[in-house]
């Protein structure tokens, strides 16, 4: 197993390096690193910046300078905020990780349950209802669903029952200065719900199909013929095998979530990676955009690695390849 992990990790390194160069080239070719400075009437400042950042050199040279600094932890200073980029991304990553983690956990549990139920009771009324609901979930825009949740669980109850405060909050992940777990939970419910709806809808479709395949397989038929109890067939034989392709989908979506919570974070005022990306993009803050993209690219690679590991754990044959 260790060899397998080490080999996959080594394979990932050149991928990250190539990705980082492509991203560097794309960002430097698209954005003006001096955009912010140009808004100040100080030509000397621009000249200073050009010399400091080596902007008069070729792209490969600039990349090497940047890479050296990046790997030693010097991620530069944001042109928007004037603060170091590393803590800026670190601070943004934490709220995103929290929402993404809880969203994934809840979505996996619900999608898994729906998948098994729909497959075991194929074409039942329940299966039809869940199938229809999943199509609605897939089609529903995240921002719209988020606003519906806010109206239903925060605004309406307060207005209808004259409450002093809404039962569920939707601004940030905790009230100002509060570390109360209940307060945290009341803040978490709505963004996590908004996030997981599309995931549950999509994953339950994958899961249902995988479960149906598994239930129709020879080994399940054999197990049935041998008189293995139904519960054991479903969960031990079919579900475990159906889980393998499901893991890959979950892992890939998890990676995308780290950088793709833009809408959720905007609506729920969560200071995470999506919002940081949006702010940096509008301000043409290349000093943040580039490391941000690298972090997301690394997350994709890591999640792929985790997917491979998960696959290997679920299917021992993978380790032999």
Partner 1 sequence: MRISPRSASTRKAALAAAVSMTLLVGALTACSTSEPQPPAQDIQDGGEITIGAEAEPDCVDWISICAGSIWGNYILMAETIPPVFNTRLVDGEWTPVASSLVTEEPEAVIEAGKQVITYSINPDAVWSDGTPITSADFAYSALQIRDGVDIFDKTGYNLIESVDASDPQTAVVTLSTAYAAWRTLFSQFGLLPSHILEGQDRAAAMVDGYEFSGGPWKLDSWVRGTSMTLVPNENYWGEKPHLDKVTFLFLPDTTAAFQALKSGEVDALYPTPQADAISQIDAGLPGISSQVDANSGSVEAIWFNNQAFPFDSKAVRQAVAYSIDRQAIVSRLFGDLGIDEPLQSMNSPLVGAFAGDDFSRYSLDLDKVTELMEGDGWTRNGDDIWEKDGETASFTILIWAGNKRRELTAQVLQSQLKDAGIEMSIQATTPAEAYSTLVPNGDYQAGLWSIIDTFPTPSLSASFVSTNIPTEANDFSGINFVRADIPGLDDLLIKVDTELDTDARIAASLAADEIIADYVPAFPLQTVPNVLLWSDKLGGPIEINAVEGPFWNLEAWGLVG
Task: Please tell me whether residue 97 binds partner 1 under the rule CB under 8 A.
Answer: no
To the nearest whole angstrom, how small is the minimum distance from the Cβ of residue 194 to partner 1?
11
Task: Please tell me whether residue 245 binds partner 1 under the rule CB under 8 A.
Answer: no
By CB neighbour count within 10 A (0-12 exposed, 13-18 middle, 19+ buried), where does 211 fall?
buried
Question: 34 to 93, contacts with partner 1 by CB under 8 A?
Answer: 34-45, 80-83, 88, 91-92
User: What is the spatial distance between Cα 155 and Cα 103, in angstroms, rounded to a whole number?
Assistant: 23
To the nearest whole angstrom, how small is the minimum distance from the Cβ of residue 293 to partner 1?
17
Task: Please tell me whether residue 122 binds partner 1 under the rule CB under 8 A.
Answer: no
Torsion of CA 233, 234, 235, 236, to 10 degrees: 30
User: What is the spatial distance between Cα 313 and Cα 321, in angstroms, rounded to a whole number?
Assistant: 13
Nearer to partner 1, 154 or 234 (CB): 154
Question: Which of 70, 275, 291, 304 lies at the binding interface for partner 1 (CB under 8 A)?
Answer: 275
The residues that bridge with 77 in the sheet, in sequence order, are 84
Task: Please tell me whether residue 185 binds partner 1 under the rule CB under 8 A.
Answer: no
The residues that bridge with 121 in the sheet, in sequence order, are none
To the nearest whole angstrom, how small is the minimum distance from the Cβ of residue 175 to partner 1?
9
User: What is the spatial distance between Cα 19 and Cα 15, in angstroms, rounded to a whole number?
Assistant: 6
Nearer to partner 1, 175 or 248 (CB): 175
* Alpha-helical regions (H) of 2-153: 2-30, 43-53, 59-71, 85-120, 125-139, 142-150
Task: Please tell me whether residue 145 binds partner 1 under the rule CB under 8 A.
Answer: no
User: What is the spatial distance between Cα 47 and Cα 44, in angstroms, rounded to a whole number?
Assistant: 5
Nearer to partner 1, 30 or 222 (CB): 30
In the complex, which residues of this chain contact partner 1 (CB under 8 A)?
A: 32, 34-45, 80-83, 88, 91-92, 146-147, 150-151, 154-155, 158-159, 164-166, 169-172, 176-177, 266-269, 271-272, 275-276, 281-284
């Amino acid at each position: 197993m260790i060899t397998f992990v080490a080999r996959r990790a080594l394979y990932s390194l050149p991928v990250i390096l190539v990705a980082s160069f492509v991203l560097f080239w794309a960002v430097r070719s698209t954005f003006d690193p001096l955009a912010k400075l140009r808004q100040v009437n100080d030509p000397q400042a621009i000249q200073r910046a050009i010399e400091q950042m080596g902007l008069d050199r070729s792209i490969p040279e600039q990349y090497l300078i940047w890479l050296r600094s990046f790997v030693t932890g010097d991620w530069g200073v944001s042109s928007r905020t004037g603060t170091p980029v590393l803590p800026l991304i670190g601070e943004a990553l934490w709220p995103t990780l929290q929402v993404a983690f809880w969203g994934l956990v809840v979505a996996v549990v619900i999608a898994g349950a729906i998948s098994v139920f729909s497959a075991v009771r194929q074409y039942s009324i329940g299966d039809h209802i869940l199938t229809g609901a999943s199509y609605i979930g897939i089609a529903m825009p995240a921002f719209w669903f988020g606003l519906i949740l806010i109206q239903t669980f925060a605004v309406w109850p307060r207005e209808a029952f004259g409450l002093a405060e809404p039962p569920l909050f939707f601004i940030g992940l905790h009230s100002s200065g509060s570390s109360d777990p209940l307060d945290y939970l009341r803040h978490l419910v709505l963004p996590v719900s908004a996030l997981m709806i599309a995931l549950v809808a999509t994953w339950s479709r994958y899961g249902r199909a995988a479960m149906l395949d598994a239930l129709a397989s020879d080994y399940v038929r054999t197990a049935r013929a041998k008189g293995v109890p139904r519960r054991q067939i479903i969960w031990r034989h079919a579900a475990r095998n159906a889980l393998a392709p499901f893991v890959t989908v979950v892992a890939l979506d998890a990676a995308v979530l780290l950088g793709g919570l833009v809408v959720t974070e905007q609506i729920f005022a969560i200071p995470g990676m999506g919002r940081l990306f949006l702010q940096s993009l509008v301000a043409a803050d290349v000093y943040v955009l580039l490391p941000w993209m690298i972090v997301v690219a690394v997350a994709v690679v890591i999640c792929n690695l985790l997917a491979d590991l998960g696959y290997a754990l679920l299917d021992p044959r993978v380790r032999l390849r």
